[in-house]
Chain A
Amino acid sequence: MENTNKPENPEHVEMDVGQLLISDFNKVNLKPKSNWEKVLTSTTRDNVQLLVNQIWTLPAKCIEEVIVTDLPKPTYVLPRSRKVPNPKALTKWEQFAKEKGIQKKKKGKSKLQWDDILKKWIPTHGYKKVEAEKTNEWCIEYKEGDDTDPREALKKAKTEKVAKNELQRLRNLAKSKNIKVPKVGVLNTVSAKDPKLLEYGAKVAEVSTASLGKFSEKPPRKTDGKVTKAKNKLKKKKKNTTGRNPGRAGKAPETASSKKPKAGKGNRDFRKKVGGRKRRN
């Protein structure tokens, strides 16, 4: 074997058998260009021979009449295509179950259940269960003194259940991705009792349009709100125009008039040459 391959300087050769990679850091003598292909082929051959020698020393075995060797793990470090994923965040239920030590039910249980009426095995979930339910409940009694359709009520209950589940799913998703969810948009029973929060919720709803409420009409609100109070104050300040205490409320009219056009017939100013009628020469 030795005569078939003699590397010039074996110290400068790095090998990663796991990756089938060999790096020969010796200088390749490519002086006359006409000789390139010969030199390249011979040096490559020597290096491949070195790698093959190494591979043939690894333990080989025969699998289905094919000789196979176990390769060691590659050592040459290559970058990943994506970052290492973080462990998945627990959902609210999973966290609760973990705290309380609630375990998932074993999966060995059969997914089929015996239906006594149909005399058939019915799956616990899926369309076949729904079909079975439809055939079983072909008649539902009305409750006494209640005119609402019981089927409608069942349907509504189902849709509400689905909607709630979806909301919880989204909430878990937002939590895992660290997104802030506005609490006032969705009023729960606690916040609904607090009038302050209710008012705040109404304010949020007012500006919850694509234009941030710029073009939407303000809904009629009961007069005990803060907005009307502030307006009253302004009116009072306007009445006594002595300007003794130009406080926060005193500045408000200026800001209110900021939207008025600067130019126009009434705002004639000769120095600034703004306003007035158009001069014709």
Chain B
Amino acid sequence: MPAGVGSSVLQRVTKPKTHKGKKVLLDREPKVIENTKQIFFVKGAKTTPELQECLKDIYTLKKPDAKILRNRNHITPFEDATPLEGFGKKFNANHFMMISNNKKRPNNLVIGRLFEHTLMDMVEFGVENYMSLNSFKNEKIATGIKPMLVFQGELFENNSEFGRIKNLLVDMFHREDVEQIRLQGLEHVLSFTAHDNCILFRSYKTLLKKSGTRIPRIELQEIGPRMDLRIRRIKLATDDLFKQACKKPKVLKEKKKKNITEDTFGSTLARVHLGVQKLDTIQTRKMKGLKKTTAEKKRKAAEDLDNSQKKAKVSNVTITEA
């Protein structure tokens, strides 16, 4: 028995020393309504200037929910993703993007996401036909703008892998959920087109032109970055895990309201259920003629007293018997 006690060591409890530290730790705990997902960018052992520019451009699109790691890291995510999981835990971020370059896989870009600080989905792309943000000489967009996301191509519907990659890309670029949006702020479009094992990444600025009606006519102007992402290796979560990760908290689920409908005129109709009415005891209109006389009242009081005494006696008997 003593050996058993020795083997089960109590888990250490990290107690924050400062108020700020406490707040940070609390912020990292799982929540019902989660924070905006953060992303971190990692440079691999070897990179090319083009790839680094690509990383910086995506960073500018993702600011301020992004972090770039300055040092190079010898990580091979498809062999061992634990360092990336460690970074995710450290920075409280659950998306990552990594660049690397080698003979076998030139211009390599890995994007992925974590769930519970463990790897969920990860896709490897080869970056082709890259054109940076700066190579398009025109006016750019403001930072922190929620983009409109456009996915084109039949592969996104037919191919399950492309469907999951679409989910990953939406997750990465949609920024946060908003309740309201400024109409003038709809000025950025990210377009992803599936074409022959390739995803064509384009970024546009919208120009709202007059059309003669209330709804403006849209014109697009490419602002970059532009790249064709050729899919290399894919590591996706099982459907079970994905389903588990997509679970919605019970608190946020809306309860269905029963018996309430809305008719064509916009007025709400509701059905109300009443219980059975007790007609013999119900209080109706009070009238002088129906009032009890003093004699009746006295008789009633006497009866009540009698009843209560009887009850008391019965209770007495039971006590003595016991």
Q: Which residue of B lies closest to A206 (CB)?
A: B2
* CB-based contact B30/A51 at 8 Å: no
Residues of A within 8 A of B180 (CB): 68-71
Is A221 an interface position by the 8 A CB rule? no
Partner of A55, one of B167, B174, B186, B211: B186
* CB-based contact B156/A25 at 8 Å: yes
Residues of A within 8 A of B147 (CB): 20
Q: Which residue of A lies closest to B213 (CB)?
A: A1
CB distance from A130 to the nearest CB of B (A): 19
The A-contacting residues of B in range 197-213, CB under 8 angstroms, are 200, 202, 204, 206, 211, 213
Is B66 an interface position by the 8 A CB rule? no
Q: Which residue of B lies closest to A203 (CB)?
A: B2
* CB-based contact B150/A181 at 8 Å: no
Q: Mark A147-190, 1 if CB is under 8 A from B, else 0.
A: 00000000000000000000000100110010111101100000
* CB-based contact A179/B11 at 8 Å: yes
Residues of B within 8 A of A74 (CB): 177
Residues of A within 8 A of B31 (CB): 82, 85
Is A53 an interface position by the 8 A CB rule? yes
* CB-based contact B32/A84 at 8 Å: yes
Q: Mark A16-38, 1 if CB is under 8 A from B, else 0.
A: 00111111111110100000110
Is B152 an interface position by the 8 A CB rule? yes
Residues of B within 8 A of A51 (CB): 148, 150
* CB-based contact A81/B115 at 8 Å: yes
CB distance from A242 to the nearest CB of B (A): 35
Is B132 an interface position by the 8 A CB rule? no
Is B13 an interface position by the 8 A CB rule? yes
* CB-based contact B219/A45 at 8 Å: yes
Total residues of chain A contacting the partner, CB 8 A: 67
Complex Cα distance, B213 from A23, in Å, reads: 25
* Stretch of B40-48, B54-62, B244-252, B283-291 contacting A (4+ beta carbons < 8 Å): B244-252
* CB-based contact A180/B8 at 8 Å: yes
Is B170 an interface position by the 8 A CB rule? yes
Total residues of chain B contacting the partner, CB 8 A: 72
* CB-based contact A81/B10 at 8 Å: no
* Stretch of B104-112, B187-195, B274-282 contacting A (4+ beta carbons < 8 Å): B187-195
CB distance from B171 to the nearest CB of A (A): 5
Is A204 an interface position by the 8 A CB rule? yes
* CB-based contact A28/B153 at 8 Å: yes
Complex Cα distance, B198 from A40, in Å, reads: 14
Complex Cα distance, B115 from A207, in Å, reads: 40
Given A56-B215, A79-B245, A212-B3, are A40 and B149 neighbors across the interface (CB < 8 Å)?
no
Given A22-B151, A180-B8, A207-B3, are A83 and B204 neighbors across the interface (CB < 8 Å)?
no
Q: Which residue of A lies closest to B157 (CB)?
A: A25
Residues of A within 8 A of B149 (CB): 19-22
Partner of B30, one of A12, A85, A180: A85
* CB-based contact A68/B182 at 8 Å: yes
Complex Cα distance, B152 from A26, in Å, reads: 7
Is B25 an interface position by the 8 A CB rule? no
Residues of A within 8 A of B116 (CB): 82-83
Residues of B within 8 A of A81 (CB): 34, 37, 94, 114-115
* CB-based contact A179/B10 at 8 Å: yes
Is A60 an interface position by the 8 A CB rule? yes
Complex Cα distance, B3 from A182, in Å, reads: 12
Given A68-B183, A212-B6, are A80 and B115 neighbors across the interface (CB < 8 Å)?
yes
Is B218 an interface position by the 8 A CB rule? yes
Is A110 an interface position by the 8 A CB rule? no
Q: Which residue of A lies closest to B8 (CB)?
A: A180
* CB-based contact B13/A82 at 8 Å: no
CB distance from A216 to the nearest CB of B (A): 12
* CB-based contact B215/A53 at 8 Å: yes
Partner of B2, one of A67, A68, A84, A207: A207
* CB-based contact A22/B215 at 8 Å: no
* CB-based contact A60/B10 at 8 Å: no
Is A215 an interface position by the 8 A CB rule? no
* CB-based contact B170/A44 at 8 Å: no
CB distance from A185 to the nearest CB of B (A): 8
* CB-based contact A56/B214 at 8 Å: yes
Q: Please, could you name 7 A-B residue pairs with CB atoms under 8 Å apart, sorted by A? A: A20-B147, A20-B186, A21-B149, A23-B152, A48-B206, A83-B30, A84-B247
* Given A21-B148, A84-B248, A203-B2, 7 extra CB contacts under 8 A: A1-B213, A26-B154, A68-B180, A76-B170, A79-B113, A84-B249, A85-B30
Nearest 3 A/B pairs, CB to CB: A79-B245, A82-B30, A25-B157
